[in-house]
Structure 1
Amino acid sequence: MKNIIITGTSRGIGFELAQLFAKNNYNVLAISRNAEPLKKLNLKNISTLSVDLSDEHDFKKVTDFVSKNWKKVDVLIHNAGKLINKPFEKLSSKDFFDVYSINVFAVAQLTSVLIPFLSKGSHVVIISSIGGVQGSMKFSGLAAYSSSKGAVITLSELLAEEYKEQQISFNVLALGAVQTEMLQEAFPGYKAPISAEEMANYIYNFALTGNKYYNGKILEVSSTTP
């Protein structure tokens, strides 16, 4: 059985992804600040950890679990994200730090501590946004969010180069609008064309097979301009 780690699993895409992998007989370590939603489902292949991704000291919970129970990680999906929608002049340095803390710093640090458990054939999938892709339409209010999603794209390209000799793959999925709680909180009333469950199905298949075809690549997964 392959071992899958997913962040941001308390709701939305991550919540659906964890269930999808577990129901298809993969071992899942579901990481989120609130582990209760998945715990309540009591699925046999899911282990949950309550982890604050803005606190790197919490990452020891993850490495301790892997070291004790798995020894290796086949797929790491960085799905957790933070979005603040504010006019640029009202964004504080703390707002920027809070967004980058989850969307960039946590991705880098969690990957770093898990490198010893990744090996030939392992696939690291980073969920970014079409708003972080060069040439895509940008939207006001998302200066912190979209710039962080651009930063994590460059990070993935660099990691793919750095670890290509170990044959560890790093790829980015730059998503368009998906109907999630985070989207609704940031843009009340907006209706996205893709559900969280539908996007989870796409990410599930890509995480398992995408590294056969891609490494260090950014795939734009969006049926709309946003």
Structure 2
Amino acid sequence: MANIVITGSSRGIGFQMAQLFANEGHNVLALSRNNTPIAALNHPNISSFSFDLANESDYVQLDEFIKNNWKQVDILINNAGKLLNKPFLETSMQAFEEVYKVNVFGVANITKRIIPLMPKTGHVVTISSMGGVQGSMKFAGLSAYSSSKGAVITMTELWAEEFKESGPSFNVLALGAVQTEMLEEAFPDYKAPTTALEMATYIKDFALTGHKLYNGKLLQVSNSTP
């Protein structure tokens, strides 16, 4: 059974994914700023604590947990994300930076911490968005969010090259619209064709097996535009 770290696990895709892995017998460390929902499950295979990707001091607890409980991480899923839907001219640079602190710098920071603890067969899966894919349909108001999701696509390609001899493998999934709380908050009137559970099931399966066929690849996971 694998040791799996999932960020952004308080709701939506991450919340569903943590349960799917745990129900299959895997050990899950579910991280989110609000860990109350996941902790309330009392699942024997899920550990959790409050964790903010943008807070450097929170990484100390992450390091201690892995050192004391696991020693090794087999899969890291960078699922946490911050979405801002606001006209560019009305977006302060502080707000822009806050999106990047989670979606880019936070992803880089936790990945840097976890890589030395992963075997060659390990797999880092980062969740991006169709909005971050060059040439895809873009939407006004998402300058900070979509550009940050483009950044993690490039980082994934670079990591795969840098660690191609030692591992682990790195892949990025650009998701289309999924009916989650985050989507509802940003676009109240939009109804996505894919549920959080459906997408969580796909990501779970890909995280467990995708590294056997892919490394440094962007996969577009969307049956709609976006």
For normalisation by structure 2, the TM-score amounts to 0.99
Using the alignment, how far apart are the partners of 1:34 and 1:154 within structure 2? 29
For the 8 Å contact 1:7–1:79, the answer to whether it is kept is yes
Which range moved further: 200-209 or 159-168? 159-168
Unaligned 5+ residue runs, structure 2? none
Structure 1 letter corresponding to 2:170:
F
What's 2:4 paired with? 4
Report how many aligned residue pairs link the two structures: 226
Does residue 15 of structure 2 align to residue 45 of structure 1? Answer: no
1:104 is matched with which residue? 104
Q: Secondary structure at the match of 1:220?
A: strand
1:154-173 → structure 2 map (5 Å cutoff): 154-173=154-173
Q: Deviations over 1:92-130 (max 9, x none)?
A: 101111100110000000111112211210000000000
Name the SS for the 1:173 alignment partner: strand
Task: Please tell me whether residue 193 in structure 1 is matched to residue 165 in structure 2.
Answer: no
Shift of 1:167: 2.3
Partner SS, residue 218 of structure 1: strand
Aligned to 1:53, what secondary structure does the other structure show?
Answer: coil
Q: C-alpha deviations, 1:3-23, integer Å up to 9, x for none?
A: 000000000000000000000
Aligned counterpart, 1:202? 202
CA contact (8 A) 1:184 1:190 kept: yes
Q: Does the CA contact (< 8 Å) of 1:56 and 1:106 recur in 2?
A: no
* 3-state DSSP of counterpart to 1:71: coil
- For residues 134-160 of structure 1, give each alpha carbon's deviation from its aligned partner in whole angstroms, at most 9, with x where no partner exists: 110000000000000000110111011
Task: Map residues 48-197 of structure 1 onto 2, 5 A cutoff.
Answer: 48-197=48-197
Cα distance in 2, alignment partners of residues 214 and 60 from structure 1: 32
**Range with greater deviation from structure 2 (56-65 or 25-34):** 56-65
Task: After superposition, give the CA deviation of every residue in 1:30-67 in whole Å (9 maximum; x if it has no partner).
Answer: 00011110111111100002111111221111111011
RMSD of aligned Cα (Å)? 0.6
Regions of 4+ moved over 2 Å: none
Check whether the contact 2:128–2:172 (CA below 8 A) recurs between aligned residues.
yes
CA distance in 1, matches of 2:217, 2:47: 30
| TM-score for both structures, normalised by structure 1 | 0.99
Q: Aligned AA for 2:65? A: F
Separation in 1 of the partners of 2:40 and 2:203? 24
Query: Which whole-Å CA distance do the structure 2 matches of 1:57 and 1:191 have between them?
Result: 38
**Do 2:115 and 2:168's aligned partners in 1 also have CA atoms closer than 8 Å?**
no
Corresponding residue for residue 24 of structure 1: 24
The letter for the 1-side match of 2:19 is Q
Amino acid paired to 1:116: P
Distance, in Å, in 2 between the alignment partners of 1:75 and 1:69 is 15
Q: Distance in 1 between matches of 2:187 and 2:68?
A: 42
Matched AA of 2:131: G
Residue 192 of structure 1 aligns to a residue whose secondary structure is coil
- For residues 177-205 of structure 1, the C-alpha deviation after alignment (integer angstroms, 9 at most, x for no partner) is 00000000000121000000000000000
Answer yes or no: is 1:217 the counterpart of 2:202.
Answer: no
